[in-house]
Amino acid sequence: MAGPTGTDRNEGLETTKEHAVSNDEKISPPLTELNINTTTGGFYNGFSIAVTVPAKIIISVIVVWAIFWPIQSGAILTGLNGFILQNFAAWYTWVVAFFIVVCLALAAWPAAGRLNLGLDDDQPEFTRFSWFSMMFGAGIGVGMLTWAVAEPVTHLGTTPESIMGLTTPGGADNVAMAFKWSFLHWGFSAWACYAVCGLSLAYFSYRRGLPLTIRSGLTPLFGQRLSGPLGHVIDIVAVVATILGVAQTLGFGVDQLVAGLGRIGIGGLADADGAATTTGIVVALLVIMGLSTLSALSGVGKGIKWLSNINMVLSIILLGFLIIFGATWFGFNAMFTGLWHYVVALPQMSVNVFRSDGVEGSEAFLLAQWQGWWPVFYWAWWIAFAPFVGLFLARISRGRTVREFVLGALIVPALMCFVWFSWAGGTAIDLEMNGSANGVIFDAANGDKIFAMTEFMLAPIGDWLAWGMAALIVVLLLTFLVTSADSAVLIVNTINAAGDEGPKSRPHVLFWGVALAMVVAGLLISGGTTAIQTAMVIGALPFSVVMALMAVALLKAIYNDTRREKAGVPSTHDKIEGVTGNDAPAGLSASSN
């Protein structure tokens, strides 16, 4: 709840931290009010200046630094990236494994699973189809169009198994390994990051009436202290991580959009190597951010919902084409073989950390390097993306149970990714391995591989069919990009407005739309997608700590709420009358969250 800080009411009370409760101490209702100062009137009406202004300054500094000092910024970012990959690979690996364990535990926990993400009689706002569509489109859609073909093809050449000599690089015995690692990067681990963040936000906002912002997920650990500087820092970290995480997605999307526009006859936007030129970057971003800003101004229930439904339908059409006319049996075999290897190896892959021996070119060095390029990069990407996707998932999931949310967010989108990778990547691999494609797909740039593959399949039938499929993919790509960008703008403004989901002032929507475009443009111009990847890996690190604390806080809160249910103590904000966690006697409220 935004408003005055209420420091005189809370001063001296031990409500900022929970402590262990003795067996004979009665558990009290939870904290249901978190006071965050917001401005009344003026340009920042309804916003928390302590969050909004520092976040804008940080993002503006990144933009100016990347554009005006590209060589210096590129060198510093590369050095920091190397340091993080060398020293925090294990942290990224293990924290994501922890998120998977938390999700599975909550889904399997009977008392926790039936709790409603809202009041007891709240019903879901969206149908399951729209819910899955928005979840999938915001979470992974853009990257999937790039990497569903490119990643299995790349892994076919190099996997940890091929580095260790267990399989043949580029050989048939490495196909299952290529899909196993692709499934790891885009499967349960990715969606566990989103689910932990989204579940935490939905639980504390809709059950307890706390602001729909990142800091609310830490109230069981820090209580009312989150009303002040500690909470501001957490929300600023979330905003910066969101912008960098979405910038990563848009960076890949810009390259692919330029490649697609070239396929449908709009040339001059890419260089001889297929990379987007500065003109191509500007044109692509103008189109993406122009459409996304218009959609953001219309809100979640209109523009974003309809765009999500459209890209889900187009995705089904494209996927159906690949399943029916692509390598149908090869894709089927790739999915189930890869899925078997993935599920069996998931526990080991989730916790294993390759350690370099420092000898360049050695097996240990190559394994550690590969892990930094792939799993660690992806874990940083999903964590940086989590405040955006998590808050968005929370926004569209009110009224669903904890178990429904976890299983829906963890399994259904992951299965969609498995299907996509199996038939899109499987078709590309089959066409190349049987010799018919003759390098047409393998030699194309990553963003252009899906266009090269569909053109190779359809051109012999008719050029107009190849053009039509390229146009469909371009439209699908645009809807994914616009959905991601406009959702990010709305989410950032929600965090800046202390969790207020209502309409935002147009200048702030426009600012963050422009800022996001400038971050992407600045980093692409200064160092290509590598610069964006580096900035994102760095920005994700502090938020990974926040997310780990959110997971611990969520477990603690749900455990205490199951105790309240047994004791007949209210745990939703509508049932708590007069006695809340922050004005109850100190000895009781310290146990309340």
Q: Which domain holds residue 189?
A: 48-209+239-551
Q: Is residue 229 part of a domain?
A: no
Indicate if the pLDDT at residue 283 is higher than 60: yes
Residue 177 lies in a domain: yes
**Domain membership flag for residue 181:** yes
Rounded Cα gap, residues 257 and 481, in angstroms: 9
Can you read off the two tokens belonging to residue 461? 């039938």
Q: How many domains does the chain have?
A: 1
Eight-state DSSP code of residue 524: H
Domain membership flag for residue 17: no
pLDDT at 576 over 90: no
Per-residue confidence (pLDDT) for residue 161, from 0 to 100 = 96
- Residue at 212: amino acid letter: L
Give whole-number Cα distances, 221 to 37, 93, 103, 551, 588, in Å: 21, 24, 19, 11, 15
pLDDT beyond 90 at 182:
yes
Is 376 part of a structural domain of the chain? yes
**Is a pLDDT exceeding 60 seen at residue 577?**
no
User: How far apart, in whole angstroms, are the C-alpha atoms of residue 588 and residue 184?
Assistant: 44
Percent of the chain that is helix, strand, coil (3-state, to 5): 75, 0, 25
pLDDT value at 62 more than 80: yes
Mean pLDDT of the chain: 83
Q: What CATH number is associated with residue 67? A: 1.20.1740
For residue 356, the tally of other CB atoms under 10 A from its CB is: 18
DSSP string, 54-115: HHHHHHHHHHHHHHHSHHHHHHHHHHHHHHHHHHHHHHHHHHHHHHHHHHHHHHH-HHHHT-
CB-side neighbour CA atoms (13 Å) of 64: 6
Q: Compare 166 and 532 and report the one with higher pLDDT.
A: 166
Count Cβ atoms below 10 Å from residue 347 Cβ, excluding itself: 12
User: Does 351 fall in a domain?
Assistant: yes
Task: Tell me whether residue 573 is in a domain.
Answer: no
Residue 305 scores a pLDDT above 70: no
pLDDT over 70, % of the chain: 87
Q: Is residue 221 part of a domain?
A: no
Q: Which of 568, 562, 574, 560 is nearest to 120 (CA)?
A: 574
pLDDT, one tens digit per residue, over 96-154 is 999 999 999 999 998 888 888 988 888 888 888 778 777 766 556 667 778 899 999 99
Integer-rounded Cα Rg, in Å, for the chain is 24
What are the φ and ψ backbone dihedral angles of 2, each rounded to 5 degrees?
Answer: -80, 150
Cα dihedral sign, 482-488-491-492: negative
Q: Model confidence at 10, in pLDDT bands (50, 70, 90)?
A: very low
Any idea which residue has 């942290």 for tokens?
91
Separation of alpha carbons 15 and 93, rounded Å: 34
